[in-house]
Amino acid sequence: MRNLREGAAGLWLLAALSAAGQSSDAILAPYYPTPQTIVEKMLRLGGLKAGEKVFDLGSGDGRIVIMAAQKFHAYAVGIEIDRDLCRQSLERIRKLGLEKNARIVNGDLLAQNYSSADLVTVYLLPDSINNKVQPLLDRQLKKGARVVAHDFEFRNWTPEKVENIADDGEGRSRTLYLYRR
């Protein structure tokens, strides 16, 4: 069942890439915003606490970064390669007065250092997770750091907890995976 769900979700994301005219070789995932209800569930599943540092890989419009800083009082960093999404995120952060605890790095998420992370959130395609991100996190994450993956699991890691969400509020089922290094 899991492979069927992953396959269907992967096909859906690849279709989104094609519709957007993007090559799947050029990016690690298309921009597809996570519903706010799932953002909160991801941060809660990851056990994010005030003062901790969270990285959102492929932060899109910054919604995970903003909620982590605003609601959880964490120091949140988003990594986003798209300049327009980065600009939009930074503008929202500025308007909300969250500059002290939230920031967005406009850059390649594979070229960053995550050794200070307490929590990392990921919503990327399976190939990106397993062949690119996982080896990087294996090298960099400190002992005890948590990773929450949305819909696609890390093939070579064993999840500490799996949360299945039947309806995300938009009619889609979701699966969240919690890992601890």
Domain range list for the chain:
2-180
pLDDT tens digits along 65-91: 999 999 999 999 999 999 999 999 999
Q: List CB contacts of 76: < 8 A, sequence separation 6 or more.
A: 53, 54, 55, 56, 64, 65, 66, 68, 69, 101, 102, 103
CATH of domain 2-180: 3.40.50.150
Closest of 38, 37, 30 to residue 10, by C-alpha: 30
- For 13-51, how does the pLDDT look when each residue is reduced to its tens digit (9 = 90+)? 444 433 333 433 347 888 889 999 999 999 999 999 999
